[in-house]
Structure 1
Amino acid sequence: MMDTSNVPTGPRQNPELEEISPPITVVGPVAWLRTNLFSSPFNTLLTILAVLFLAWAVPPFIRWAFIDATWTFPREVLDGARGPNRGDCAPDGACWIFIQARIGQFLFGFYPADERWRVVLVFILTFGAVAGMLIERIPFKKQNALFLFVILPILSLWLLLGGLGLEVVSSRLWGGFMLTLIIACVGIVLALPLGILLALGRRSELPVVHLLSVMLIEFVRGVPLITVLFMANVMLPLFLPPGTTIDPLLRILVGFTVFTAAYLAEVVRGGLQAIGRGQYEGAASLGLGYWSMMRLIILPQALRISIPAIVNTINGAFMDTTLVAVVGLYDFLNIVRTGSRDANWIGTEIDGFVFCAAIYWICCYGMSRYSISLERKLDTGHKKR
């Protein structure tokens, strides 16, 4: 029998065949820096300029926002001897006690303080319902969808407006971050299906449907949002019977929804044009009608392709809610700006704007990150970024 005791059985018994770690210039932090920041002389120059800019801008901002900032009220204010004001803040730092003193108004506008629990309850229910739809591990999707799209709007309207046992709160008292979320959520939720219908109408072979869709989309996209809001606020009541009035907030919601739907329609149309002709022919060969073909085969693919553009449009619409200030509504940005003009808080405009920018950035960044995770889940050719 042949002796195999000295025959190597694997690479570990032969030092020449042992695994060797790749050089740091190929993988690891050094390779990442070389590939992304120092890949060429021009990129190297840009990297150096960016580092110099950050070294010039970041330390003063950190000193202003954190080190020299005023975070707590003085003792006499805490004891109730007097109210807070701008004089309680350090002259060279951020005045964050301004945000603390008016945070209730910034979040809820002029909604009665004793009734703000209703707003909080609506936000909790909405967040839970949306999370139940977006998180795959949570069961009962059909029941959750029924609650989110049918029951919750009616329940929220009752809680926010009142009646039937609750104190009535006029929409004129709504404001702050609450109003911004209401306009954005209602407008975007209604605009997406309307935009899909407009996109299908623009690609329709029916002349009347095609013409009406094109006219609406091109007219709305041809004017700025501020014009649409003015038209909705001033001209919409003219088309109603004499003596009929519409709540100002409802008028703004109509204008905001139509404007957002027109832009989403073009985004969805781009996704529809990216679908090959073979998909339509394959659906027709299965005997599917137009609506069944769109619902089961074409639209799922088109919407999947359009996810980045849809989220970009939604982010833009969320930030465009600040324009409702021109028709007299106190959205988040407008109410913070108004608060900084109070006689006790003159000189806090920058503090308020930085606070607003942070909140808007958190909301938009959260939506962007979810869209990236959705792209990964649906495998849309997404690359890690």
Structure 2
Amino acid sequence: MLLPGATLGVLGGGQLGRMFTLAARVMGYKVVVLDPDVQSPAGQVADIHLKAAYTDAAALLHMGNLCDAVTTEFENVPADSLEMLAKHCFVAPSPAAVAVAQDRLLEKSRAREFGCDTAPFANIEDEGELVAAWARIDGPALLKTRRFGYDGKGQARVDDLDSLVAAFDHLGRVPCLLEGRLDLKQEVSVVLARNARGDIAFFPVAENRHRHGILDISVVPAQVPEELAARARDMAGHIAAGLDYVGVMAVEFFVLADGRIVFNEMAPRPHNSGHYTLDACATDQFQQQVRALAGLPLGDSRLLTPVVMVNILGDIWRPEPAWDRLLAHPGVQLHLYGKAEARPGRKMGHYNCLASSVDAAIALAQTTRAELGIGG
């Protein structure tokens, strides 16, 4: 057990690393961030910012010597870097668990092992497997790169074999999965924390709505039957236990028109859809990340108030959003990420709309989105 005063490290200096760093420092820990960006949002608030590449052996050794435990804010950290750190300090989640989340084939195969349904899929290693994959899955379908895909990137819709060939070429002829398209009704996510003793704390299930492939809002509690929410929690828990996972994890599920629920993907870190916890839960996802990494008992994850989380992208900087209008609403809690440059599609912040009911929180989110020009 690492108590306040210990030093925690985080690989990655974006907004998730920033919110972890702030939570850790409030709880009395020192924090080391490793990120090559000199303007790293997490580096701005850390005790020490190591400005180096994630593969820099000297920087990793220095971090391992400075820190009592290290976590990561994104899944694409090189596995060799995690293995190197693990020789010097405790690393969570484990390199093996992160490796599963880095590869869609491993991810979906393991999810099936743990009892989850998935969309039908076929692995494609090279051009010679396109015809067989199409015969197995048929259309319409989605072609997705096995690695480095997020926020709708690294994927393309395909409706026939010709479009599959073109999409494979467009995606760089890298290993891909061809996934059958499903009749979707909703997307939900489960954010959970698990410690080394195997204790799991589930946050309330969120209902996620996207725009242009990027999360737009998360509604909590999700507008789904409790039986469905319980199934989602149960499946997410089986995945975490099966991977012997330590830390915070998000698992996304598709709710189908026929009421079935299928696994989509997992994130071995705090998640955009869990940002509502910062203001609406007794313990937020970043405090839980600190607790799990430090070997502490997990905090109370219950929901205190209905909430809608709204993403703020760089698209609305014209040149600056109307913060005065947003903050005129008492139920709004604003979180900005300290990024120096706003760009279309870049996550610059979010805000939580707190209200006495889900309907009232949704109405507040709709009003404020219109005032900021989100979705306009």
Normalised to the residue count of structure 1, the TM-score between the two structures is: 0.25
Structure (1/2) with the larger strand percentage:
2
Higher RCO (C-alpha under 8 Å, 6+ residues apart): 1
Normalised to the residue count of structure 2, the TM-score between the two structures is: 0.25
Structure having the higher Rg: 1
Structure (1/2) with the larger helix percentage:
1
